Structure 1
């Protein structure tokens, strides 16, 4: 499958902000080193007391209570070491500096603790609001849709209060059960607006467009209209705006033992059949929504695969397969799917959730969305259709039917 550009970790506005914060946190300790260098050099006649006094105050601005205590301890230790080295104990200046450092340190630690508590309270409130907005955008799929037992799961990355851009939906239509899963590049309000535009178009078009490609075309047009609205987004540069896209996969499960898929740059679905996982790789990769200018030709293609009773389909976002452990190893999704016991779809997703938690030690780097759909036995008629179907079709992939 063709890969498409994504921002590398630590780049963009967020990466620059984190770098500035890290540099600011190093300033208090750099000042302490500077004082030591001055006091142990011929320039020790310079008055360095105010520099050490400012160290805990600067730490309180950029670090929490523990960091402020560390900076204060370093300042006190440097004051004692330099006073001993210069044999300055007994002078009024040394005791004045020492008392000033103690008073500023106490005030800085208290201020830092109060600021930390207030920030945590505000962040918890924003997270609750973000979670509520996410639940409005992403509704849990019904437990039963036509010939399928289904379940969904959304896991937010523990990195601030940003709302992610993962999206999913499953609806029963006259054409069969139709599902969509997607991932918007980026986070925050721009990602939410893009996800809402795509989901809204899918929920409408899924009920009256008989062609899956046309359903995706409606989603693409809605995204294009949303991006054309001057929301006042402060893009870093034109390149970042040009790289904004949405990977989506739309699937349809009709009455027959088959599944139809249109994949626009999204990770391929996994089908569990007889204890073995099969990836539904697209024969003709197409770019995500928003990057259609990269290629010329049709906007997508419907591909058909065998999907018989007992098969289990897993749709997921790249937060699953890109989850890493402390050794930087990716999460082995096919192995995890095969190792999951035979159980109901919600329990199956919970098993995958536990596997992700163990692999990442509870620290997801990206949001995760998953839909699982298990095909039920439709009775004798369905078995007869399946028998005839198996005689004429390859078990893994079906040729595209002419339209």
Structure 2
């Protein structure tokens, strides 16, 4: 930019008044580079301005002083902005490292192999700077079977993250201790009820999966799970009795009635939050999850889920407007023979 301005100034002479445009060099450097680069380019621009001013005979005129002052002012402003941006980037990196630590504690990687199951999870926060949000998930291997939870906290921000932590902490403890999945749900409900009563709630699905018993569900006002059969057919099983979300037990409504879904070899269950099914394209159409079930036809559950997430991203064609979590569980009869690993994204 500075070379172009210098060439034009030399070609047209002092009458055109291009000399102050030399300040564009440090101005663009301040936008794209660090403060040191801005200061160096500013010094080069200032020297070039003096040389051109001498060549044009403007060093003793008001126009020459104005041009030199413009270059010096833009250089100082760009350097100070670069220092402030560097400090902000360091603070943002620190915040992100804390968020990553919080994610590892709150949303742990799920076991890739859990008994007769293979599992994979993906999570996307609607807040660009955040790694965690109001959605939650967990897979726990217990003596009573594999127990899972997927939920969505009302609201966003730190308050939603705090409520997600309460729900997950209660579930992790109860899933190991309680023989009955209904009691697991009741303990999570009591933990939520101990929080300050402000009508905030958590929709959730709690499930227990075993080779003999299939899939046993409790649905607390959450979107129905998607069951993809080995033959490719798709089901969205609904509870026999709908229940209020977790955290609203004070209203006196009955808890959810457990219901069982057949879950055999080759079948898959996708648990998800409403950030998936309520995602809209530019025309306002919701994401057709059931019609996209064929994307899960991959030997690797993680690859299958990655394909589904990529398709969801294409549907939105922009940033996520809500947190979106998906947990894929696949029934494989030889799953108990695999070593347990961990997977998640």
The answer (yes or no) to whether the contact 1:179–1:251 under 8 Å persists in 2 is yes
Match for residue 302 of structure 2 among 325, 346, 363 = 346
Match of 1:269 in 2: 225
Distance 1:185 1:99 in 2: 57
Inter-CA distance 359–113: structure 2 relative to 1 (3 Å threshold): farther
Q: Is the partner of 2:158 in helix, strand or coil?
A: helix
Query: Match of 1:180, SS?
Result: strand
For residues 344 and 162 of structure 1, what CA distance do their matches in structure 2 show? Answer: 25
Aligned counterpart in structure 1 of residue 277 of structure 2, from 303, 307, 321: 321
Distance 1:223 1:113, change over 3 A: same
Matched, 1:278 2:235: yes
Q: 1:110 to 1:356 in 2, by over 3 A?
A: farther
Alpha-carbon offset, residue 270 of structure 1: 0.5
- Work out whether 1:255 is the aligned partner of 2:211: yes
Tell me how far 1:151 sits from its aligned partner. 1.8
Mapped to 2, the partners of 1:221 and 1:100 lie a distance apart of: 68
TM-score (normalised: structure 1): 0.61
| Residue equivalent to 1:290 | 247
* Gap change, CA 1:297 and 1:183, over 3 Å in 2: closer
Q: Is the 8 A contact 2:205 2:217 kept in 1?
A: yes
1:358 to 314, 317, 331: 314
Work out whether residues 100 and 131 of structure 2, in 8 Å CA contact, stay in contact via their aligned partners in 1: no
Change in Cα spacing, 1:363 to 1:213, as seen in structure 2 (3 Å) is same
Q: Does residue 129 of the first structure (1) align with residue 86 of the second (2)?
A: no
CA drift at 1:247: 1.2
Distance 1:265 1:105 in 2: 58
Farther-moved stretch of structure 1 (241-250 vs 195-204): 241-250
Aligned with residue 308 of structure 1, among 248, 264, 267: 264
Mark the CA change 1:152 to 1:110 in structure 2 (over 3 Å): closer, same or farther.
Answer: same
Deviation, structure 1 residue 152? 2.0
Give the superposition deviation at 1:101. 8.2
Of residues 184, 193, 204 in structure 2, which corresponds to 1:224? 193
* Structure 1 gaps, min length 5: 1-63, 67-92, 229-240, 380-403
Q: What's the offset of the Cα at 1:113?
A: 4.4
Q: Tell me if structure 1 keeps the 8 A contact 2:147–2:175.
A: yes
Corresponding residue of 1:245: 201
1:278 CA displacement: 1.0
Q: How does 1:38-77 map to 2 (within 5 A)?
A: none
- The answer to whether residue 179 in structure 2 is matched with residue 179 in structure 1 is no
Q: How many residues are treated as equivalent by the alignment?
A: 278
How far, CA to CA, are the matches of 1:98 and 1:371 in structure 2? 62
Distance 2:65 2:182 in 1: 78
Normalised by the length of structure 2, the TM-score is: 0.70
SS of structure 2 residue aligned to 1:207: helix
C-alpha displacement of 1:281: 2.0
Distance, in Å, in 2 between the alignment partners of 1:297 and 1:355 is: 38
What corresponds to 1:170 in structure 2?
139
Task: Tell me if structure 2 keeps the 8 A contact 1:319–1:368.
Answer: yes
1:255-276 deviations in Å (ceiling 9; x for gaps): 3252110010111110101212
Greater RCO, CA 8 A, separation 6+: 2
Deviation per residue, 1:283-340 (Å, 9 max, x gap): 322111112334x342221011121211100111222222333333332222222233
Partner of 1:146 in structure 2?
A: 115
Cα deviation digits, residues 78-128 of structure 1 (max 9, x gap): xxxxxxxxxxxxxxx999999998876665555444434432332233122
